[in-house]
Amino acid sequence: PYRQSERKSMYMQYALDLVEKGHAYYAFDTSEELEAMRERLTAARVVQPQYNSITRTQMKNSLTLSEEDVAARLASGDPYVIRVKIPRKEEVRLHDMIRGWVMVHSSTLDDKVLMKSDGMPTYHLANIVDDHLMRITHVIRGEEWLPSAPLHVLLYKFFGWEDTMPEFAHLPLLLKPDGNGKLSKRDGDKLGFPVFPIDWKNQETGETAAGFREQGYLPDSFLNFLAFLGWNPGDEREIFSMEDLIEAFSIERIGKSGTKFDIAKAKWYNEQYIRAMPISDLAKFFTADAAADGVQVAGVKAESIVQILRERVTFPAELWTQGKFIVLPLEHFDEDIASKKWNQDAVKVLSAYAQSLENFTGEFDSSTAKSILESAADSEQIKLGKVMQAVRLATTGSGVGPGLMEVFAILGTEELAKRIRFALASLTVID
């Protein structure tokens, strides 16, 4: 690990080297003087008030002050910064792997501070020195850095490191879904979805921001989603594992334009990954969430429940919330459904079904569950379709859910009969 503060003196040496070569200079201007200069320029309708090849001639720096004056100020410990001396007229060409050649005229650049008055380097200096020393071959960063890239290539040139200058690739930005600016950390989860990969707590304000991980976005799925924001393999495949991504990726196929963050697609990816996940892994989510609610669920049972639920959820946590009705005792019935669907026919069919279940011995699976139900309806001369919703209500308490016969198979005859008896005792036919 490196610490910028530990490398302080080294950066200073490089900065001094630039001063010696005439590519940088000392500046003694106070912040008030800087401010005054900007105000003066603004008042004079100068389009771009900045410390540059023109204005530096009117400021306090080693270019305008006498050598003795500069030496005296340095010796007396006057605060100073070291600024880069941007050439007045020069085309700066920079190659970007994504955007191609970008041309900028040096007259639009300003004399950026390289060493701050506290003796620390600015990003620009540290970046170039570190990358050179560490033999960095590729600088891959967000597009917001594109405007300062010309300064960076100039610095490589001033240091005489042009031959080993890294390749640049400026990535398109992630934009807010409403199209208003780049997606930023500060947006937190005000947008209705997280911005941080994991829960994040602001130490100063104590605020916590929700993370994608905690919201139930699976790592592989999220990675896949993210990789496709601004990049695509050129064919129509969309599901890529980390290995696939490494195999297929190339910087050249990265897009140029900003990308709006679409959470609906992230959810779709999550659903795809959940459906492709091994049942045993899914079951672990179920048992863990159950345990958190103080309920112990056997692994085998969890697997069978998760099996019929996996196609219906976006997040793993929904496995438990949508499936717990199977392991928890049935207590409530959806009143709306009850008022609409609970009728005399349902009572007849269910009574007969409960009776058959109580007498049943043998292997009970979804198809036997169904055939027994069908014969119960037949014996009462009632069409099953007419009472199906009532059957669901009586056994699950709700009007919607996974395949009923599959649920019955997991419940087993005893629990099923018990639930039906309970429903029969609890619900009353209104009309």
**Of 53 and 389, which CB lies nearer to RNA in the complex structure?**
389
**Residue 208 binds RNA (CB under 7 A):** no
Q: How far apart are CA 151 and CA 162, in angstroms?
A: 13
**Of 138 and 237, which CB lies nearer to RNA in the complex structure?**
237
**Residue 58 binds RNA (CB under 7 A):** no
Instruction: Tell me the per-residue interface mask from 209 to 238 with RNA, x by CB under 7 A, - otherwise.
Output: -------------------xxx-x-x-x-x
Residue 213 amino acid letter? R
The sign of the dihedral angle between the CA atoms of 191, 195, 197, 199 is negative
One residue of 22, 147, 219, 412 binding RNA per CB under 7 A: 147
**Residue 179 binds RNA (CB under 7 A):** yes
**Residue 122 binds RNA (CB under 7 A):** yes
**Of 151 and 297, which CB lies nearer to RNA in the complex structure?**
151
Distances (CA, A) of 266 to 132, 237, 262, 360: 38, 16, 7, 47
Q: Is 185 a catalytic residue?
A: yes
Shortest spacing between CB 365 and RNA, in angstroms: 15
Among 142-150, 280-288, 339-347, 421-429, the segment contacting RNA (CB under 7 A):
142-150
* Positions 158 through 177 that interact with RNA (CB under 7 A): 172-173, 175
**Of 236 and 243, which CB lies nearer to RNA in the complex structure?**
236
Shortest spacing between CB 153 and RNA, in angstroms: 13
Closest CA to 376 of 427, 420, 326, 331: 420
One residue of 20, 67, 118, 204 binding RNA per CB under 7 A: 118
Among 53-61, 64-72, 107-115, 358-366, the segment contacting RNA (CB under 7 A):
107-115
- Assigned token pair, 391: 């059957």
**Residue 48 binds RNA (CB under 7 A):** yes
Shortest spacing between CB 273 and RNA, in angstroms: 12
**Of 238 and 244, which CB lies nearer to RNA in the complex structure?**
238
**Binding residue count for RNA, defined by CB under 7 A:** 76
Specify the long-range contacts of residues 228-235, CB closer than 8 Å, at least 24 apart. 229/174, 229/259, 229/261, 230/171, 230/172, 230/174, 230/254, 230/255, 230/259, 231/255
* Positions 318 through 347 that interact with RNA (CB under 7 A): none
Instruction: Tell me the per-residue interface mask from 59 to 88 with RNA, x by CB under 7 A, - otherwise.
Output: --------------------x-x-------
**Of 347 and 372, which CB lies nearer to RNA in the complex structure?**
372
* Positions 25 through 44 that interact with RNA (CB under 7 A): 29-31, 34
**Residue 385 binds RNA (CB under 7 A):** yes
**Residue 428 binds RNA (CB under 7 A):** no
* Positions 261 through 290 that interact with RNA (CB under 7 A): 262, 264-265, 267-268, 275
Catalytic residue among 21, 185, 256, 260: 185
**Of 49 and 197, which CB lies nearer to RNA in the complex structure?**
49
**Of 34 and 292, which CB lies nearer to RNA in the complex structure?**
34
State phi, psi for 341 to the nearest 5 degrees. -110, -15
Closest CA to 7 of 102, 149, 127, 105: 127
**Residue 1 binds RNA (CB under 7 A):** no
Q: How far apart are CA 351 and CA 388, in angstroms?
A: 14
Q: Taking a C-beta distance cutoff of 8 angstroms, is the pair 353, 420 a contact?
A: yes
Interaxial angle between packed helices 263-276 and 219-227, expressed in degrees from 0 to 180 and rounded to the nearest 10:
130
**Residue 403 binds RNA (CB under 7 A):** yes
Distances (CA, A) of 84 to 22, 47, 116, 202: 9, 21, 12, 36
**Residue 379 binds RNA (CB under 7 A):** no
**Residue 258 binds RNA (CB under 7 A):** yes
One residue of 7, 157, 312, 348 binding RNA per CB under 7 A: 312
Among 13-21, 242-250, 387-395, 423-431, the segment contacting RNA (CB under 7 A):
387-395
**Of 177 and 197, which CB lies nearer to RNA in the complex structure?**
177
- Residues identified as active-site: 185
